[in-house]
Chains A and B, each alone.
Chain A
Amino acid sequence: QVQLVQSGAEVKKPGASVKVSCKTSGYTFPSHDIHWVRQASGQGLEWMGWINPNSGNTDYAQKFQGRVSMTTDTSIRTAYMELSSLRPEDSAVYYCSRVAVGPFYYIDSWGQGTLVIVSS
C-alpha cells in the first residue's frame, strides 16, 4: 500500500535550517506530485509548496519564497523539504503528501508528520 514515512522530530535554534525527509513506497514515485503542508499547534493547515519528482519543477507559496527548498531523490523514492532562517513561529508539524493522478487534483496520501520546534 502507499506509504509516506517522514523523518523524526527536530529541535532547532532560531536562524538554523531544518531538512525533513519523506520516504515513499507502494507506488510509482515519479508519477505523483509531492506537496508540503504545515500545521502549527492548534492551528489550521498551511500549504508550503510542491515538487514534481519527474521533472524536479517546484513552486512555493510566496510566504516561503527564498527560505524553502524542495527536492527529491528518485533513486531512493524520497522527497525533502528544507526550511532555512528558522524563527519560533516556524514551530509546527510538517507533512509531506502525495497528489492523486487523474482528473481531480487532491491529496490522497499523507505522511505521519514531523514536529519541528524552533526555540533558543
Chain B
Amino acid sequence: SSELTQDPALSVALGQTVRITCQGDALRNYYVNWYQQKPGQAPVVVIFGRNNRPSGIPHRISGSTSGNTASLTITGAQAEDEADYYCNSRDSTGNHLIFGGGTKLTVL
C-alpha cells in the first residue's frame, strides 16, 4: 500500500505531551518527514529523516519510527504548536512522494 494514515484531529493541554502518529507500509522502507502548517501559510519541515530537526525547530519536537508507524512527539506543547501536521514519505516505487491526510492539533 502507498498510503499514510493519520488521526484527523488531536488536542493537548498546554504544557502536556502529545504524540501524532502516521501509519503505512512505506514506513518500513523509507524515512518519514513531518511538516507543520499554520493557517494561510506554506508547510514547514519540523522533522526529516525520521528524527532530525532543522535549525530553528525547538527540541520539544521529536520523531521516532517503529515498524510501519511513525510518531511525532511534542513534549510540553506550547500555544504556537497549534497547527496541522503532515507526515510524508515515498511510495512503494520510491519515486513518488506520499502525504498523510494530516492531523489538526489543538492546544487547549
Contacts and interface: CB of A to CB of B under 8 A. Distances in A.
B45 interface: yes
Contacts of A113: 42
A108 B57 CA distance: 13
Contacts of A11: none
Given A100-B48, A110-B43, A105 B99 contact: no
Say what secondary structure dominates the interface of chain B: strand
Interface residues of A, number: 21
B98 interface: yes
Nearest to B34: A106
Nearest to A61: B96
Given A44-B86, A45-B86, A45-B102, A104 B52 contact: yes
A104 B101 contact: no
A30 interface: no
B95 interface: yes
B101 A106 contact: no
A112 interface: yes
A103 B48 CA distance: 10
Contacts of B108: none
Contact of B99 (A46, A100, A111, A112): A46
Interface of A: 35, 37, 44-47, 50, 59, 61, 95, 100, 103-108, 110-113
9 contacts: A44-B86, A95-B42, A100-B48, A106-B45, A106-B88, A107-B35, A107-B43, A110-B44, A111-B42
Counting from the closest, the 9 A-B pairs by CB-CB distance are A104-B49, A110-B42, A106-B48, A106-B33, A44-B102, A47-B97, A45-B99, A44-B101, A104-B48
